[in-house]
Structure 1
């Protein structure tokens, strides 16, 4: 009697295989010059690192890195809801300043009586008080001496 033949039907390929995709990726990297760049960087890694380290060890670069770090520390302390209010208040203020057109009744200086009337304007004082408080806080913060910003930020002493 005849023996049974085992035959597994291979599925019909639907799309490219992983090998085809890898070959295509490699060819694209080659055509775009990315492989040459990677090979050159690996071959010249000691020179590249020397240029990077020399650039980063300059006083200006160190100051820029530290200033960005301080900005990040300050931004991390501001709750997003407060930051949102301040940023969009500044946006609105800039828009109002840019769109301002003097009306006919304000074409002259207010004079002494006009300035006196402004002193009793509750809306004006309501708008000025946050700015005045902000300026007082800003001035008091300018008087604070900080030896190391990270120590002032975290409260922990840092090693030299």
Structure 2
């Protein structure tokens, strides 16, 4: 009698293999015009390169790129939840400023007694204390002599 064969049925594929995925991607890129755009860019690369190099070779463009780089490095040091809090606070502050400037009813100056009442108002001081702390930190940072950004973020000395 013949010996029984052990045959395991291969599992059914649920996802396309790499070749099929690549063909789908290529077809979608062609369908939406990206292949034509890439071909046009490759054919016109000398013209595009001349425009890019002449645009990037200006002092203003170089300063803009450095400033964007500095902004990205500074943002990378801030946790997203803190940045979200900052954006929401800025939005609320701008909306309050806008509303206050649009109000047609002009507020009168508080006078001496009004100022004295403000000096004793705990809610006012709780609201203004973070602003004063922020101004203090800002002022301290502005008093420092500016150093090259590369020195600040890398710890290396700049020789330029």
Q: Which TM-score tier does this pair reach, normalised by the shorter chain? A: 0.5 to 0.7
What is the SS of the residue equivalent to 1:78?
Answer: coil
Q: TM-score by structure 2 length?
A: 0.68
2:116 & 2:88 partners in 1: Cα distance?
32
Q: CA RMSD in A?
A: 3.2
* Structural mapping, 1:5-84, within 5 Å: 28=31, 35=36, 37-84=37-84
Tell me the distance in 2 between the aligned counterparts of 1:59 and 1:79: 32
Provide, for residues 16-68 of structure 1, a one-character-per-residue CA deviation record: whole Å limited to 9, x for no partner. Answer: xx7x9799769747xx6963x54443333233212211211111110110000
Structure 1, unpaired ranges of 5+: 1-17
TM-score (norm 1): 0.68
Instruction: Give secondary structure in 1 for the equivalent of 2:145.
Output: coil
Question: Of the two, which has the highest radius of gyration?
Answer: 1
Q: How many residues align?
A: 137
Name the structure 1 match of 2:149: 149
Please say if residues 146 and 152 of structure 1, whose CA atoms lie closer than 8 Å, have aligned partners that are also in contact: no
Q: Could you list the runs of 5+ residues in structure 2 that have no partner in the other structure?
A: 1-19
Alignment-derived partner of residue 127 in structure 2 = 127
Partner Cα separation in structure 2 for residue 119 and residue 22 of structure 1: 67
Q: 1:147 to 1:94 in 2, by over 3 A?
A: closer
